[in-house]
Each structure stands twice: as structure tokens, then as C-alpha cells.
Amino acid sequence: MSTYVLVPGMCHGGWCFEPLPEGLRAHGHRVLTVTPTGLSERAHLLTSTVNLDTHVTDVLALLEAERVDDAVLVGHSYGGMVVGSVADRAPERVRGLVYLDAFVPRDGDSCWSLTTDEQREWYLGVDDSGFAVPPLPFFDPRATAHPLATLLQRARITGPGPDCPRTYVYATRWPGLSPFAATYERLREDPAWTVHALDSAHNLMRDAPAELERILLDAG
């Protein structure tokens, strides 16, 4: 049995992974879904000080409270910044890393530095608060504004991270240039990584659920 810890992308809560947790649990695994501070049912905690470190601390605190020392960390989109940082800070608690069409940070990287100009334009379209990025019109109605500081803060990756399997899942159906294309190209020839390219839009959980479940079971 593995413990899967699922971290969502921008503007989303743990609900975005449904029905994936149900399928993993049916195979006997433990699944914990994360809603980062300031998002979804925790939107009332959104302030200008919520940054990447805040969301990393959310996951570290969950691992501690739930006594998890066998985590398969799964990050979707922005969530890759979080799981990559968590793995650096608590490698002894991690047995696998899975990035779902996500950023894979190296030391000093941020979402801002890794993404495309089109995505940066979205980031800067902050709402009236001046520090939160509103969800795009086609997002799930449950999506909420995302703290801008999480996208600008640079990741601090100080060590080699855990010695564990690393999996990357790339979604090929973007309407234009994928913000994750450079990450995919960097990793696809790296023997330390297992890389998949799925015929799916960015929301892999919705558009490729069966393939995604198989990949996660293999990673666990």
C-alpha cells in the first residue's frame, strides 16, 4: 500500500482530482487530497502573504499530522512547484514523485520564470485585491482566485531530493504552445525519469482518467 498525496494546480482545491482517489483506494491505497491555503474551501484564508512557502508548509504539515513516510507526491500544473519543494525538504517521507502536466522546479525557478508569455499575462490580470489571480472563464465553477505570490516566489531546492521513482505526464492537446513543453523536452531524454505523453487536454483527471490511474498505480 502507498499513500498518494494529491496537490492541485492554480485556482483549484482537492476536489479537482475526483474520481481518481476512489479508483486508487479501490486498489488498497491511501489517498490524501490537499487544498492549499487561500483556495476553494480555504479561500477565506487568502491574503497577500500567501506564497509558495505557505503551500509547501501545508503539505509538510499534512505529512507530519498523518504520519506519512511513504508518500507518492502528485502535483498537477502549479502543484509541481509544491511537490518538488516538499520532496527537497522532507526526502525521507517520499517514495515517489508524479508531475501531471506540471512545472518541475530547479533551484531558483518560479512559475513566472518557467511559463510562457501568454500565461504571464494571465498572472498579471489580478483581481481587485491586487494580489490574487482570478480563474479563467472556462474553469470549474468551484475554482477560486489564486495568490499571485505563489507564482512569483522562487523555489529553494537545496539538495538532490529523495532517491525515488520520478514520473512525468505530459498533455499533448494544448490550443497553443504548452507552458510545460520546455519541461517535457528537458525530461523526456533523462534516464532518471519515466515520461508519458497522453492525448489529453491539460485537465488529465477529467480527460484521461483510466490512463492516469494506471500510471499512478505503476508509480506507487
Q: Is-contact 167 98, C-beta < 8 A?
A: yes
Would you call 17 helix, strand, or coil by DSSP? helix
Cα separation, 81 vs 4, in Å, equals: 17
Per-residue b or e along 202-215, where b marks 16 or more CB atoms closer than 10 Å to that residue's CB: bbbbbebbeebbeb
Check whether the bond before 137 is cis (ω within 30° of 0).
no
CA distance 171 to 184: 10
110 belongs to the catalytic site: no
**For residue 98, what are the β-bridge partners?**
74, 167
Catalytic pick from 2, 40, 48, 77? Answer: 77
Sign of CA dihedral 51, 52, 54, 55: positive
Amino acid at 181: A
Contact between 105 and 80 (Cβ < 8 Å): yes
Strand 94-100 and strand 30-33: the pairing is: unpaired
Active site residues: 77
